[in-house]
Structure formats: C-alpha cells, structure tokens
Amino acid sequence: MMASFLQAIVSGLVTGSIYALMTVGMTLIYGTLRTLNMAHGSMVMVGGYVSWMLFDSLGWGPLAGLVAASLVAFLFGILIQQVAVRPLIGKLGVDFEMTAFISTFAVTIVLSNLALRIYGARNKAVPPVIHGRLHLIEGVSVSWHSLVMAGVAVTMLLALGAFLSKTRYGLGITAVAQQLDAARLMGIPDQRVYNLTMGVSSALAAIAGVLLASVFFVSPNAGDLPLLKALIVAIFGGLGSIRGTILSAYIIGLLEALISTYFGVRWSLPLLFVVIMVVMLIRPTGLLGKPEEARL
C-alpha cells in the first residue's frame, strides 16, 4: 500500500520533470511573443527523429542525440518564427494571438506529415541512456533512464533560469516580454530576441523528445501527446509564468501518477481534465498567470 503510493510519487516526480522541460518553452514563447506555439509538440518529435537517425546511421547513443537535436530544433524554432509568426506581427484587423495559433498549427500539420512522408508510419526505437533499474526500497524502483531524464530536465531548467536571470540576452528576453517599448529603448533588438526565444524553447522541447524517444517510440505523431500534455500544464500553470509552469508540471505529473495507480491509466487524462476545468472556474488564468491583454 505504502509502496505503491511511494512508487506513484517517484514516477510522478520523473513525469513532472519531463513535463516541465516540455512546457517551459511554450510558456516562454507565449510570454515573449504572445504566441501559443502549436508547433511545440512537433519539436519533441523532431528531437526524437534526430536521436533515432544518429543511432540508426552512426550507432551513436542518446547523449549525442541531445546535442544534435537541440541544435536542429534551435534552427527549426527560428524558421517557425520567421515563416509563421513574424509576418503576422502588427497586421491590422486580425487578432494576433488567434492568427499565430492557427499559423503554428499549420506548421504542425506540415511537419508531422512531412515526417510521415520521410520516415513512414513505422515506430522507431531508440535505446535508453542506461539500462536497468534502481531499487530504492522494497517495491519501489525507478529505471536508470528515468533518473537520467529527470536529471537532464532539472539541469536544463536550472540552466534556463541562470540564462534568463544572469546573461545579457537572457535578461533581454524577460525585458521584451514585460515592456516591449522600454526594451527597445534600451537597445535590445526585439527580432533577435524573438528568434532566440523560439530557438531556445524549441531546443528544450527537442531535448525532451530525445529523452522520451527511449521510453516510447519515435513516430510522426510522437508530438501529439506531448503537445496535449504541454497545453494542459500551460493552462494550469498560467501562460507566461515560468514558475507557475514548473509548479504545474510537477502537480500534474504527480496527479497523473496517483490517478493511474488508484484508478487505472485510462482515467488519468479525463480525471486530470476535470480537475483542470474546476481549477479554471476558480482561477481563469491558471495558478500563477496574470490577466493581461494582448500586446503585439
């Protein structure tokens, strides 16, 4: 009884870490660009395929995949920004958030069907970073790969935090998110900041994709479920709030693990959704989100 509870907590923490890694970029993009990036899930898929290709053609493990996938996704992020988001900024007579939502959704359609055309529908398998399980106490264990996942996720989140609060361009991202005019007056190049935000966020999603590729498989719709989970985490935490997102990722990871343990995996998503609907009734902008108007 106690063991199954502890097991749920352990897997909830692992899941929460990976959710945080997946969603933090989405929240960062929304905060800076007021764009809900529907192509974020596709970056998870791109990460998975990059890792698989390295493994399949060169025999390199997922650690090489992490580096390569983040570079590839960084470029993809800039491409999406230039093609699907930038042309919409400042268009009169249309709602920017709505058009950006749809244009990034269109990017997702193109990317996942492109993957289907290039790689086919067959699932691709990538081996874990380390095989085997760590037995914590009687009845509670965690795979080494999950520990690596959680470790990488937490490391990346800490690195992101340091980048945003200590470096010139990191502070620039937050500045653009908070007060665009003032940021431009400080000499912060907003377009470069947007590219950087999209690039970094996409790279984080791709890192999550590499890690998840060994747990699930890589397939053209490998980004769909991560997108859904990221959306749920993002609404729950409050769009634009990084702390809210990380908090929400762990809450949702734990909730999901507990619901799966006690009610069965099938109910984790529907029950989670009901919980979120109730939370939204009380706090329409999520845990730490702020009510604010569209800016661009």
Partner 1 sequence: MLEVRGLRASYGETPVLEGIDLSVGDGQFVAVIGPNGHGKTTLLRTLSGLLEPTTGEISFDGERIDGLRPDLISMRGLVHIPQGDLPFGDMTVEENLLLGAFPADAWRKRSERLERVFTLFPMLAERRTQRARTLSGGERRMLALGRGLMRDARMLMIDEPSLGLAPVLVNEVYGHIETIVASGVTLLLVEENFSHVQAFDAHVLLLESGRIVRQGSVAELLADEIVMTTYLGT
Partner 2 sequence: MAVREVRDPAEAARTPAALGEELGWRRPKPIAVVALLVAAVAMPVVWRNDYVIDVALTGLIWMILNQSWNLQLGIGGIWNFGQLAIFAIGGYVSALIAIHWGLPPWLSMIGGGLGAAAMSAVIGIPVLRLRGIYASLLTFSFGEVVRLLVISDESGLTGGSFGLSGVPELAFDGWSPDARQRAYYWLALALVVATAVVIYVFINSPLGTALKALRDAPAYAASRGVSPLKMQVITFATSAFIAGIAGGFYAHYFGVIAPSVMGLGPMSLFVAMLVVGGLGTFWGPILGTAVILAVSEYLRDYDELRLIIVGLILLVTIVVAPRGLVPALQGGWRRLQRWMAEDEAEREEGSTT
Pick between residue 98 and residue 136 the one whose CB is nearest to partner 2: 98
Residue in 254, 269, 275, 296 binding partner 2, rule: CB under 8 A: 269
Site for partner 1 (CB under 8 A): which residue of 95, 133, 178, 270? 178
Q: How many CA atoms lie within 13 A of 51 on its CB side?
A: 34
Residues 32 and 193 sit within 8 Å (Cβ to Cβ): yes
205 contacts 40 by C-beta, under 8 angstroms: yes
Q: Which two tokens stand for residue 36?
A: 């809900």
CA–CA dist 162, 268 (Å, integer):
34
Which listed option, partner 2, partner 1, none, makes contact with residue 106 (CB within 5 to 8 Å by class)?
partner 2
Choice from 94, 121, 185, 278 touching partner 1 (CB under 8 A): 185
With binding defined as CB under 8 A, does residue 162 bind partner 1? no
Beta strands in 179-239 (DSSP E): none
* One of 10, 73, 85, 183 touching partner 1 (CB under 8 A): 183
Q: How many Å apart are CA 91 and CA 86, to the nearest integer?
A: 10
* Residue 89 is a binding residue for partner 2 (CB under 8 A): no
CB-CB contact of 39 with 104 (8 Å) = yes
Asked if residue 284 binds partner 2 (CB under 8 A), the reply is: yes
Give the binding range for partner 1 (CB under 8 A) out of 125-133, 153-161, 176-184, 199-207: 176-184
Spatial neighbors of 169 by CB under 8 A, at least 6 apart, are 193, 196
Under the binding rule (CB under 8 A), the answer on residue 190 touching partner 1 is yes
User: Where does residue 119 rank: exposed (0-12), middle (13-18), buried (19+ CB within 10 A)?
Assistant: middle
Residue 277 contact, options partner 1, partner 2, none, Cβ 5-8 Å cut-off depending on partner type: partner 2
- Supply φ then ψ for residue 244, to 5 degrees: -60, -40
- Candidate ranges 7-15, 45-53, 179-187, 272-280; the one touching partner 2 (CB under 8 A): 272-280
Q: Which of residues 68 and 275 has its CB atom nearest to partner 2 in the complex?
A: 275
- Cα 292 to Cα 34, 123, 238, 295: the distances in Å are 11, 42, 11, 9
**Selected binder of partner 1 within 175, 196, 235, 255 (CB under 8 A):** 175
Contacting residues toward partner 2, per CB under 8 A: 30, 36, 83-84, 87-88, 91, 93-95, 97-99, 101-103, 105-110, 112-114, 116-117, 221, 224, 228, 231-232, 234-235, 239, 266, 269-270, 273, 276-278, 280-281, 284-286, 291
Contacting residues toward partner 1, per CB under 8 A: 165, 168, 171-172, 174-175, 178-179, 181-190
